[in-house]
């Protein structure tokens, strides 16, 4: 494990775990933290032992949103730092699934990290809020990743009021997939990791692209493009191995698998 001032990074059991590590300020998104988060995401993408990426927090909070004293994008040691949009975009474009393990309170920009994750497991009793209006600003950047999940119905009320909601409610509103008791969070996340590892690495990466591509197409365009996409995948070496393993009743030997 590498320990830096604002983050922890560890690869174990097929996943790169990135932990926001500023519990004293509720893991607020400072320029330093966001810069390190961006670097760790890049490292995870290059690590062949990591089939997916898990993002969580140290201490009682997951992430309290932007650090108003040192907001994301501010200079770090006199140099330009990564911005929150760059982090969210990297999460969205990552060929490896990103899992949010929401261990504690998630406010404002912290919910942006949740919105940009592919799978979200949340402690059922944690507090969440799009709290920006309470200080006279708006959840503009994170709306890009949160509104598609919430839909305008839920997003309108939550953005306008800044009201708090629990992790269990996040599931019913489409922002999270599973809500569990806090002491069961890591086990639940490991279940998601293990399921991802059953699939072919290339197929998993292509599914991420697929889910975001289909809504951009008309029905007819979708059938045409998806038929070609399906054909390419069925002709791939990974598909050949997967189908051979199925016939032979054995585990696939995925290329590049840890």
pLDDT score at 5: 85
C-alpha 49, offset from chain centre: 18
b/e map 112-129, b = 16+ CB within 10 Å: bbbbbbbbbbbbbebebb
Q: Is residue 2 scored above 70 in pLDDT?
A: no
Q: Is residue 98 scored above 50 in pLDDT?
A: yes
Q: Is residue 111 scored above 90 in pLDDT?
A: yes
Q: Is residue 183 scored above 60 in pLDDT?
A: yes
Q: Crossing angle, helix 219-234 and helix 237-247, to 10 degrees?
A: 70
pLDDT score at 247: 96
Full strand arrangement of the beta sheet holding 52-57: 2-3, 7-12, 15-20, 52-57, 98-102, 119-123, 178-180
Tell me how long the chain is. Answer: 258
b/e map 201-234, b = 16+ CB within 10 Å: bbebebebeeeeeeeeeeeeeeeeeeeeeeeebe
CA 7 – CA 27 distance, rounded (Å): 9
Q: Which of 66, 68, 76, 61 is nearest to 26 (CA)?
A: 61
pTM over 0.85: yes
For the chain, what are the domain ranges? 7-197, 200-248
Burial class (CB in 10 A: 0-12, 13-18, 19+), 166: middle
- Token pair 């050949």 is at which residue? 240
pLDDT score at 4: 59
What is the helix, strand, coil percentage profile of the chain, to 5? Answer: 50, 20, 30
Name the percent of the chain lying above pLDDT 70.
97
Q: How confident is the model at residue 201 (pLDDT cuts 50, 70, 90)?
A: very high
pLDDT score at 258: 42
Q: Is residue 7 scored above 50 in pLDDT?
A: yes
- According to DSSP, the β-strands at 61-63 and 7-12 are unpaired
Per-residue pLDDT of 66-77, as tens digits, reads: 998 887 877 677
pLDDT score at 69: 85
Q: Is residue 257 scored above 90 in pLDDT?
A: no
Q: Is residue 121 scored above 60 in pLDDT?
A: yes
Please state which of the ranges 19-33, 75-89, 169-183 shows the lowest mean pLDDT. 75-89
Neighbours of 245 (CB within 10 A): 14
Which CATH superfamily, name and number, covers 7-197?
Answer: 2-enoyl-CoA Hydratase; Chain A, domain 1 (3.90.226.10)
Q: Tokens representing 99?
A: 């899992």
Q: How confident is the model at residue 33 (pLDDT cuts 50, 70, 90)?
A: very high
pLDDT score at 56: 98
Q: To the nearest 10°, the Cα dihedral for 158, 164, 169, 175?
A: 50
Q: Which of 214, 237, 115, 118 is nearest to 173 (CA)?
A: 115
């Amino acid at each position: 494990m590498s320990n830096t001032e604002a983050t922890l990074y560890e690869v174990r059991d097929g996943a790169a775990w990135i932990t926001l590590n500023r519990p004293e300020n509720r893991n607020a998104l400072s320029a330093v933290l966001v810069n390190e988060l961006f670097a760790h995401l890049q490292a995870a993408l290059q690590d062949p032992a990591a089939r997916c990426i898990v993002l969580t927090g140290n201490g009682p909070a997951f992430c309290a949103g932007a650090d108003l004293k040192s907001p994301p994008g501010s200079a770090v040691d006199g140099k330009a730092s990564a911005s929150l949009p760059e982090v969210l975009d990297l999460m969205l474009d990552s060929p490896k699934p990103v899992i949010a393990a929401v261990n504690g309170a998630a406010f404002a920009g912290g919910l942006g990290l949740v919105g940009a994750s592919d799978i979200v497991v949340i402690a059922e009793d944690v507090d969440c809020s799009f709290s920006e209006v309470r200080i006279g600003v708006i959840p503009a950047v994170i709306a890009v990743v949160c509104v598609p999940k919430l839909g305008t119905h839920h997003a309108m009320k939550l953005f306008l009021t800044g009201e708090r909601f629990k992790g269990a409610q996040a599931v019913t509103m489409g922002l999270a997939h599973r809500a569990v008791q806090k002491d069961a969070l890591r086990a639940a996340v490991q279940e998601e990791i293990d399921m991802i590892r059953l699939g072919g690495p290339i197929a998993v990466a292509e599914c991420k692209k697929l889910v975001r591509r289909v809504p951009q197409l008309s029905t007819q365009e979708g059938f045409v493009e998806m038929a070609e996409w399906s054909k390419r995948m069925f002709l791939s070496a990974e598909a050949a191995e997967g189908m051979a393993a199925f016939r032979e009743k054995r585990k696939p030997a995925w290329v590049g698998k840890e």
